[in-house]
Amino acid sequence: MEIVNFHESHLIEAANLDQLGPWLGFPRNGGPKATRRLVAVKAITLHLRKKSFPKLRDFCSYELSINNGSISDRELECDKIAKQFVRGERLSKTRTVVQIPIFKMDAVQPESLLEYVLIEYRWLVVITTLMPLSFAWKIWSTVRNYVVFRLNSAPKAHERKVKEIQRQIKEWLAGDRTTHLCTARPTWQTISFRQGIYKRNFTNIDINLVDVLEVNKESMTVRCEPLVTMGQLSRTLATFGLAPAVVPELDQLTVGGLVMGTGVETSSHVYGLFQHICLQYELVLADGSLVTCNDVLNPGLFYAIPWSYGTLGFLTSVLIKVVPAKKYVRLEYHPYTSLPELGNRFREESLKQDPHQFVEALLFTRDTGVVMTGDMVEEVGDDGKLNRIGKWYSEWFFKQVERYLNRYRSGSQKTPVEYIPLRDYYHRHTRSFFWELQDIIPFGNNPIFRYLFGWLMPPEISLLKLTQPEAVTNLYNKAHVIQDMLVPIETLEEAVQTFHKEFEVYPIWLCPFKVFNNPGQLKVQDKSKKWQMFVDIGVYGVPKAKGFETEPSTRRIEKFVTEKHGFQMLYADTYTTQEEFRNMFDHTLYDKLRETLPYCKEAFPEIYGKVNRNVRK
């Protein structure tokens, strides 16, 4: 931490800097007092950036804080000083006007010209290189998947690929077995922000299982391989007039990741997590045997697979429940400016006897947000407009939601209603990665950019990770939060207050879901009930909370979640100790299976050994 002093000279420079006014879109030589004041605030911010981040000033502006305060605190303080100057109050050039402690970011200096370009002009690299590559990949994979499915060649190929997995495992068995096993899939291809460094020391098993195997309209099921993505699955099922009962919204999420980790979506208050719509698993165990499990056949293994993170076997196929699909989702927006009122409406909609098919909420501040409820329909009604949010030129979804909130705050009392094409709704957060893309391409939601380049959006997350220099990774470690915490729905308001205190990251995603009273790692508190309603609190962005420090702040959140009998999604950073981790999740069935399944403990580490912060970078 370093103290930076600001004097009157900085304000004089700010108010009269010729090139600064036009850069901000204001007249030269300062203009009116209000304009000069704003210019002063901006100039102080720029000066701070240059002082602390000579190579990353544009990327790192959010790193600043007054007395460990938030960005808003800093701007208010700067504004107060600027007002003094504009009023003509004399400020001593020798005394300090304000002391601003800033985070030293020595670790994020680029080490090469290439790294400098990847940091300083990351948006340019994304637009000119990653977006075209991503678009080409999407076209190729879409055509390839369509042809393979129509030719019905995947089932035969599946048998061959499974035998190859068995061969690799038996080869490991015949050796000295001194290393654990894991998939050979590079971690930059996964949805997780982190990369698992454990793969360097494990025996990597090639698993190329990327196809939808069978759609059965009679049993209302689809059988697919673990590397099938949500975009691929929803697109394939749409041709049959079907959809998965739960569709986690990012296109690039895979079936295997949603089983071995978890997945939640706005229909989860009805169907539960993604694991709860999975009816059967096929996997290869550590002894090379191929087994099938469901709630009747090998039920212990069936209930232990979710959340096991690939530490019981290699998943090779999944049987998933599907539901009839309609053309549109009729979506209602319910804005609120009170957290208790929003929380009550959110719980009411989630716990109804006959609920809407879809429920979610976005918080834009601690006290303001929008609850959204939706149902599938076949036609666009007269009570709302058609909104094709999946079009390349469409505004990012969360920005559209925020617009409805702003209208409500301006006095509008009408409940907005929209009709959204079903697949557009399912993948509504994909184009902006919720709101993470605004940090990578700050002008990505600009109308001109959307019309010119929106058809290339979004870039593949895997390519973003692959081209991310170490300096940016270090920056994210210090100044970025990606967490999904799952807590009982009755603790929603308390949880939001805690997240605000520790992180102060907005928007916040709220999604209700059922946890069923089944064996496995997730437990309901009242054993007499069939299920318990939880809420996923998704926090993705730059923290502005006073005193934020990544590890201590996250550990306090983890402690709160554990005390409330909640859970942490495992794709994100966990700073828990192994004892704390085992206290958060019920390992009873999991431990029993690891003892009884042949070679399991030799072949795989415990879950904690693959998800704790020390084995990820």
Q: What is d(CA 423, CA 287) in angstroms, rounded to the nearest whole number?
A: 41
Examine residue 186 and state whether it is found in any structural domain, yes or no: yes
Q: What is d(CA 124, CA 142) in angstroms, rounded to the nearest whole number?
A: 26
Examine residue 203 and state whether it is found in any structural domain, yes or no: yes
Residue 468's pLDDT is what? 77
Mean pLDDT by 10 residues, the chain (617 residues): 40 40 38 45 50 32 35 48 49 37 40 65 84 93 94 94 97 93 86 76 94 97 97 97 95 95 96 98 98 97 97 98 98 97 98 97 97 98 95 95 91 89 96 90 92 91 80 77 96 98 96 96 92 97 89 95 96 92 96 97 94 78
Centre a 10 Å sphere on the Cβ of residue 153 and count the other Cβ atoms it contains.
12
Residue 507, preceding peptide bond in cis (omega within 30° of 0): yes
Residue 615's pLDDT is what? 74
Range of the domain at 160: 152-325+603-610
Q: Are residues 167 and 272 in the same domain?
A: yes
Task: Spell out the residues 6+ positions from residue 386 whose beta carbon is closer than 8 angstroms to its own.
Answer: 328, 380, 418, 419, 420
Residues 439 and 97: beta-carbon distance below 8 Å? no
The closest alpha carbon to 310, from 285, 343, 279, belongs to 285
Q: What is d(CA 573, CA 551) in angstroms, rounded to the nearest whole number?
A: 9
Provide the token pair at 550: 């990544």
Q: Are residues 73 and 15 in the same domain?
A: yes
Examine residue 9 and state whether it is found in any structural domain, yes or no: yes
Quick one: which H or E segment has residue 535?
Answer: strand 531-541
Provide the token pair at 298: 């090998």
Q: What is d(CA 384, CA 331) in angstroms, rounded to the nearest whole number?
A: 9
Looking at the 3D structure of the chain, how many domains does it have?
A: 2
- Strand stretches in 242-346, DSSP E: 242-244, 278-284, 290-293, 314-324, 328-336
Q: Are residues 264 and 205 in the same domain?
A: yes
Q: Are residues 190 and 91 in the same domain?
A: no
Q: Are residues 156 and 62 in the same domain?
A: no
Quick one: which H or E segment has residue 302?
Answer: helix 299-304
Examine residue 555 and state whether it is found in any structural domain, yes or no: no
Q: Are residues 93 and 170 in the same domain?
A: no
The CATH number of whichever domain residue 299 belongs to comes to 3.30.465.10
Residue with tokens 């048998």: 159
Q: Are residues 95 and 186 in the same domain?
A: no
Convert 47-110 into a string of H (helix), E (strand) and C (coil): HHHHHHCCCCCCCCHHHECCCCCCHHHHHHHHHHHHHHHHCCCCCCCCCCCEEEEECCCHHHCC
Q: Are residues 100 and 216 in the same domain?
A: no
Examine residue 120 and state whether it is found in any structural domain, yes or no: no
Examine residue 196 and state whether it is found in any structural domain, yes or no: yes
Write down the pTM of the prediction.
Answer: 0.81
Q: Are residues 99 and 9 in the same domain?
A: yes
Q: What is d(CA 615, CA 617) in angstroms, rounded to the nearest whole number?
A: 7
Sheet containing 531-541: order of strands = 385-386, 417-421, 328-336, 369-377, 358-363, 508-516, 531-541, 481-488, 567-568
Q: Which of 104, 139, 162 is the last residue of a domain?
A: 104
Q: Are residues 302 and 159 in the same domain?
A: yes
Judged by DSSP in three states, 510 sits in strand
Q: Are residues 91 and 186 in the same domain?
A: no
Examine residue 417 and state whether it is found in any structural domain, yes or no: no
**CA angle, residues 545, 550, 552, in degrees to nearest 5:** 90
Residue 119's pLDDT is what? 66
Examine residue 170 and state whether it is found in any structural domain, yes or no: yes
Q: Which of 104, 131, 163 is the last residue of a domain?
A: 104
Residue 91's pLDDT is what? 41
Q: Are residues 86 and 169 in the same domain?
A: no
